[in-house]
Amino acid sequence: MSPCWSAPGSADVVKTLDDLLAEGVAGRRVLVRSDLNVPLDGDKITDDGRIIASAPVPDALAGAGARVVVCAHLGRPKGVRDPRYSLRPVATRLSEVLGREVRFANDVVGESAQITTAALVDGDVAMLENVRFEAGETSKDDAERGAFADQLAALADADVDDAFGAVHRKHASVYDVAQRLPHYAGWLVLRELSVLRRLTEDPDRPYVVVLGGSKVSDKLGVIEALLPKVDRLLVGGGMCFTFLAAQGHGVGGSLLEADQVDTCRRLLAESQDKITLPTDVVVAAEVTEDAETEVVPASAIPPDRKGLDVGPATVAEFGAALTGARTVFWNGPMGVFEVAPFASGTLGVALAIAGCDGFTVVGGGDSAAAIRQLGLDETAFSHISTGGGASLEFLEGRTLPGIAILET
């Protein structure tokens, strides 16, 4: 049993994979909900970080003689079979990582899933097709989700939730299945929760948070929740332009969420100077590999240009704030790092965080992908979270349905 790490006041223990292994799993069918939602280019996996992070649980269970049934989602196929989102390439990669055959079912709970799981012998691993091919997975209707969860639960005798990136979703495979089977928290979920807890409970100071990414509206909740706890909040990425607009600056064709300007103005006023915005910005007319770029003051973005990265002075200022930080949380790239002329800001800030010898945590799918894509040493960070939305919702103090249900 482990202490519970989500909502205060709820039951204070959660059963873990270690408890399940101690019970003995030989001959038992164990459903493992993993987060294998990797970026794909056609059927080529461009970043296998989540597969690598998820492998230890099926590996340990298979090694202990369980009949393992891995269940996961990929992208947003909207409740229908869509070959672009097939998990088959992911099953192939997981098989390589595990060094074991992974038997792939062509459906989620249909004939193929039933035949495949029924044929498992002790130590075998199977993977179901993308759970979001079934409308019941994400349905808002409890009965529809429940009916699908009944079918999923029928394939197993126990349920391990290791899909940290999905624990903020009230989905059948994350929530309802755990109501129907003995349920256990997987190692990845436990590790993620213990790291995030360090960020919310008495962090070492100075505590510096760096936020970027595209949408300010996605991150307002976390800004509100973290502002009272942090010493500095550094804001870059597409979201900084709504803040710059709130200060009265023109932002040209940059990302702007006009309906959030008032909220940003209030946050700036309430933040007691904790919020630091970019002082210079890399602008261009379009997002292209051969774009002509220019560095301009953040207060002087030309009307016909878009702000697509933070500038070198900002990287230096953010770097200075990060030097000597004892706790750092970073979510969201500083610019359109996927396109070379706009990657320097993200690279510079990532290097500053990597060089900081405090406790450094990176959250967010694109931020984690940026670290690997820019060739940084992953081990230079204390923790790279596999969950973007889930880690933000945890930091906001919201109840995560996939964790709450493990506590029951």
The stretch near ligand ADP (CB under 6 A) out of 199-207, 353-361, 363-371, 372-380 is 363-371
Question: What sign does the CA torsion over 266, 268, 271, 272 have?
Answer: negative
Q: What percent of the chain is helix, strand and coil (3-state, nearest 5)?
A: 40, 15, 40
Go through 252-261 and write b for each residue having 16 or more CB atoms within 10 A of its CB, e for each that does not. bbbbbbeebb
Go through 163-193 and write b for each residue having 16 or more CB atoms within 10 A of its CB, e for each that does not. bbbbbbbbbbbbbbbbebbbbbbbbbbbbbb
- Residue 146 appears among annotated catalytic residues: no
The one among 38, 53, 308, 343 contacting ligand ADP by CB under 6 A? 308
Please pick, among 197, 215, 326, 398, the residue that the annotation labels catalytic: 215
Q: What is the 3-state secondary structure (H, E, C) of 213-271?
A: CCCHHHHHHHHHHHCCCCCEEEECCCCHHHHHHHCCCCCCCCCCCHHHHHHHHHHHHHC
Between CA 269 and CA 348 the distance in angstroms is: 28
Complete DSSP assignment for 179-197:
HHS-EEE-HHHHHHHHHHH
Please pick, among 63, 110, 319, 389, the residue that the annotation labels catalytic: 389
- Residue 50 appears among annotated catalytic residues: yes
Contact flags string 312-351 toward ligand ADP, x per CB under 6 A = -------------------xxx-xx-x-------------
Tokens of 172: 């059948």
- Contact status: 165 vs ligand ADP (CB under 6 A): no
Give the one entry of Mg ion, ligand ADP, none that residue 338 binds, where binding means its C-beta sits below a cut-off of 5 to 8 angstroms depending on kind.
ligand ADP
- Contact status: 366 vs ligand ADP (CB under 6 A): yes
- Residue 215 appears among annotated catalytic residues: yes
Q: How far is the CB of 357 from ligand ADP (least distance, A)?
A: 23
Which DSSP state fits 105?
P
Tokens of 388: 């973007």
- Residue 136 appears among annotated catalytic residues: no
Q: Between residues 146 and 237, which has the closer beta carbon with respect to ligand ADP?
A: 237
Please pick, among 15, 28, 50, 145, the residue that the annotation labels catalytic: 50
Please pick, among 213, 252, 311, 365, the residue that the annotation labels catalytic: 365
Q: How far is the CB of 83 from ligand ADP (least distance, A)?
A: 25
| Encoded amino acid at 112, one letter | S
Residue whose Cβ sits closest to Mg ion: 366
Tokens of 161: 């939730």
Q: How far is the CB of 353 from ligand ADP (least distance, A)?
A: 13
Tokens of 214: 């595209």
Site for Mg ion in 34-93 (CB under 5 A): none
- Contact status: 124 vs Mg ion (CB under 5 A): no
Contact flags string 383-402 toward ligand ADP, x per CB under 6 A = -----x--------------
Q: How far is the CB of 213 from ligand ADP (least distance, A)?
A: 2
Phi, psi for residue 322 in degrees, rounded to 5: -85, -25
The one among 47, 134, 366, 407 contacting Mg ion by CB under 5 A? 366
Q: Between residues 116 and 373, which has the closer beta carbon with respect to ligand ADP?
A: 373
Between CA 59 and CA 34 the distance in angstroms is: 12
Between CA 145 and CA 106 the distance in angstroms is: 21
Contact flags string 172-211 toward ligand ADP, x per CB under 6 A = ----------------------------------------
Site for ligand ADP in 246-285 (CB under 6 A): 255
The stretch near Mg ion (CB under 5 A) out of 145-153, 266-274, 347-355, 357-365 is 357-365
Residues 6 or more apart whose Cβ sits within 8 Å of residue 143: none
- Contact status: 365 vs Mg ion (CB under 5 A): yes
Q: Are 306 and 187 a contacting pair, CB within 8 Å?
A: no
Which residues on adjacent β-strands are paired with residue 68? 30, 125
Q: How far is the CB of 296 from ligand ADP (least distance, A)?
A: 13
Q: Between residues 213 and 341, which has the closer beta carbon with respect to ligand ADP?
A: 213
Give the one entry of ligand ADP, Mg ion, none that residue 255 binds, where binding means its C-beta sits below a cut-off of 5 to 8 angstroms depending on kind.
ligand ADP
Q: Pairing state of beta strands 232-235 and 207-211?
A: parallel
Q: Which residues bind Mg ion (CB under 5 A)?
A: 365-366
Residues known to be catalytic:
50, 215, 365, 389
Given the rule CB under 6 A, which residues bind ligand ADP?
Answer: 212-214, 218, 237-238, 255, 307-308, 331-333, 335-336, 338, 364-367, 388
